[in-house]
Amino acid sequence: MLYNAYSQKLAGSSRTRKEATSYLNVMVVGASGTGKTAFVRTFCERMKNQVIQGTFKESKPMVLKDTLRSTDELYSVSMHFEEDGQRTAFTIVDTPGFNKGFAMDQQLRYLAKYIDHQFERTLAEESKLKRDAKALDTHIHSCIYFLDVSQMIKQQNQVQGISDVDRYVIKLLSSRVNVIPVIGKADTLTILQREQLKRAFRRDIFDMHKIPLYGFIDVEDDDFEQDSPFPYPPPPEPMRNRLRGVLGAESLDKIIDMLQECVDEDDDDDARTMIDYLESMPLTVMSYEEDPDTGRPLQAPGSTASLLAIDDAGDDTPYPPSSPMSLPKRLAASNRVRSNSAFSKASLSRFYPWAVVDCCNPDHCDFEKLRSLLLQSHRDMLRIDTFERYYEQYRTDQLLSRKVDKMGILKSDEHNISLV
Ligand SMILES: Nc1nc2c(ncn2[C@@H]2O[C@H](COP(=O)(O)OP(=O)(O)O)[C@@H](O)[C@H]2O)c(=O)[nH]1
Ligand SMILES: [Mg+2]
């Protein structure tokens, strides 16, 4: 084990004050227009009050301060913050959206190289006689993959499985990094559509293609039915708070069964955390609506108190759909809905004539779930997995290929000598 993140027990209690910072690097990938950059901006906006002063750094100036633009090159935003006594040095890397065809292959190769390059830095550091105890952990611990929902919802609103492109990319990335798939722009989807998309995705990934993304465990078929003296499968058993089959993928049910055993027998917290994730994956997220002039989160005018005053004043004059209403007036109208709801302190929102949807409200989408997954519940698992699974694999491959190269050189030297 190496420096910084690895020289201590990754999630151990033996940290000294100086070593208490954990590194977490996350990359955002997916097709163009799926909401990646808007998500990065929303994430940064959400975290800004927790960021330790002076630690917020963008690799490209103005990416967060300007209005939303299309992403033409990879950039990162880094910050240090503290949550529940845990200090995290967090970096989020945004990438250009995929184009179709030849360019996509090039983009993918570039991403794979970028991820490998971080492993190479560790390998080079490990090989030094005198290692740098302060070397940073730059591994990409997780890739948040934005599914191309436009390719999953076909005519007549029929939900299909994931697109070939998404499947191809997720498979490729899963050989290098922990892929966490998400569905962006959740505000544009009904509850039924979200459920259908989730089920279709799980069926494709877990049952049909068995792609080893984050949380996937290749559970051997225990052939219960074949061993059973009864000709029929057992009746569906209740699993935690749901029935078998609800998630839409048999293999996923089996993985959860196995994890549940770990919870029941060993009170395994990691298994419990993983079940919580698997039961709601792919998570749904959305991003705040921007002020078109400044790029800042759009806010309904007035405070909650004044909005309540509007309600109290009984100002509920109905606006005919065609009546021209200024943006502030429309927002105020939307906010009347909000002021009556339990979640009245929304600030990262999208405003519709019938409702205000809030990125951070768990009833509206899984944004907060994803945030706490990354920064708290799964943070150490992601780091350990990256090191023990992906880095070790990279290291073994590299050392083997170097050995083969060396043998090739020796062989050609022998050949040259015999020619002399
Ligand atoms: N309705 C809705 N639109 C969004 C959301 N996130 C992004 N958008 C819009 O989708 C378009 C593409 O977003 P962008 O973040 O640039 O996508 P990227 O190419 O994946 O980075 C922009 O017009 C955004 O305003 C969202 O959560 N809901
Ligand atoms: Mg973008």
Q: What are phi and psi of 31, to 5 degrees?
A: -70, 160
CATH class as words, domain 21-287+362-403: alpha beta
Give the separation between CA 278 and CA 368, rounded to whole angstroms: 16
**Residue 317 pLDDT:** 38
Atom of ligand 1 nearest to the CA of 31: 20
Q: Is the shortest distance between the CB of 74 and ligand 1 below 6 Å?
A: no
Token readout for 339 is 């002021």
Among all bound ligands, the one having the nearest atom to the CA of 41 is 1
36 lines ligand 1 (CB under 6 A): yes
pTM over 0.75: yes
Q: What H or E segment, with its residue span, contains residue 77?
A: strand 75-83
Between helix 102-127 and helix 164-174 the angle, nearest 10°, is 10
For residue 402, what pLDDT is reported? 77
**Cα–ligand 1 centroid distance for 42 (angstroms):** 11
Ligand 1 contacts CB of residue 32 (under 6 A) = yes
Name beta bridge partners: 350.
Answer: 357
pLDDT of amino acid 408: 65
The two tokens of residue 297 are: 């989160």
Ligand 1 pocket check for 398: Cβ under 6 Å: no
Q: Can you tell me the distance from the alpha carbon of 80 to that of 88, in angstroms, rounded to the nearest whole number?
A: 6
Give the Å distance between the CA of 170 and the centre of ligand 2. Answer: 18
- The rounded radius of gyration (Å) of the Cα atoms in the chain is 25
Bridge partner list, 159: 153
Asked whether the CA dihedral 363, 365, 369, 375 is positive or negative, the reply is: negative
Cβ within 8 Å of residue 51, ≥6 positions away: 79, 80, 81
Name the closest-CA residue to atom 1, ligand 1. 185
What pLDDT, on a 0 to 100 scale, did the predictor assign at position 303? 38
Predicted pLDDT of residue 169: 94
How many other C-beta atoms can be found within 10 angstroms of the C-beta atom of residue 186? 23
CB 93 within 8 A of CB 27: yes
Cα 92 to Cα 47: distance, rounded to the nearest angstrom: 12
Pairing state between β 283-284 and 179-183: parallel
β-pairing verdict for 349-351 and 356-358: antiparallel
Rounded CA gap, 360 and 366, in Å?
8
The DSSP H or E segment spanning 239 is strand 238-239
C-beta atoms surrounding 416 within 10 Å: 9
Strand arrangement of the beta sheet that strand 142-146 belongs to: 57-58, 75-83, 86-94, 21-30, 142-146, 179-183, 283-284
Specify the residue with its C-alpha closest to ligand 1, atom 23: 33
pLDDT at 304: 42
pLDDT, residue 135, reads: 74
Query: Ligand 1: which of 40, 69, 185 to mutate, most ligand atoms within 8 Å of CB?
Result: 185
The pLDDT, as a whole number, for residue 410 is: 61
Nearest CA to ligand 1 atom 7: 35
**Secondary structure class of 409 (helix, strand, coil):** helix
Report yes or no: 165 and 105 within 8 Å, Cβ to Cβ. Answer: no
Answer yes or no: is the C-beta of 338 below 6 A from any ligand 1 atom.
no
Contact 203 CB / ligand 1 (< 6 Å): no
Are 285 and 184 in contact by the 8 Å Cβ rule? The answer is: yes
Q: For a pocket test of ligand 1, which of 27, 28, 29, 37 has the largest count of ligand atoms closer than 8 A to its C-beta?
A: 37
Q: From the alpha carbon of 40, which atom of ligand 1 is closest? A: 15
From ligand 2's centre to the CA of 323, what distance in Å?
A: 35
> What residue owns the CA closest to ligand 1's atom 6?
35
Q: How far is CA 216 from CA 51, 244, 251, 278, in A?
A: 33, 18, 9, 9
**94 CA closest ligand 1 atom index:** 21
Asked if residue 286 has its Cβ within 6 Å of ligand 1, the reply is yes
pLDDT lower than 50: segments of the chain: 1-17, 223-226, 303-324, 337-346, 419-420
Protein residue whose Cα sits closest to atom 11 of ligand 1: 33
Confidence (pLDDT) at 301: 65
**Domain spans, the chain:** 21-287+362-403, 304-346
User: What's the gap in Å between 33 CA and the centre of ligand 2?
Assistant: 7
For residues 254 and 278, what is the distance between their CA atoms, to the nearest angstrom? 11
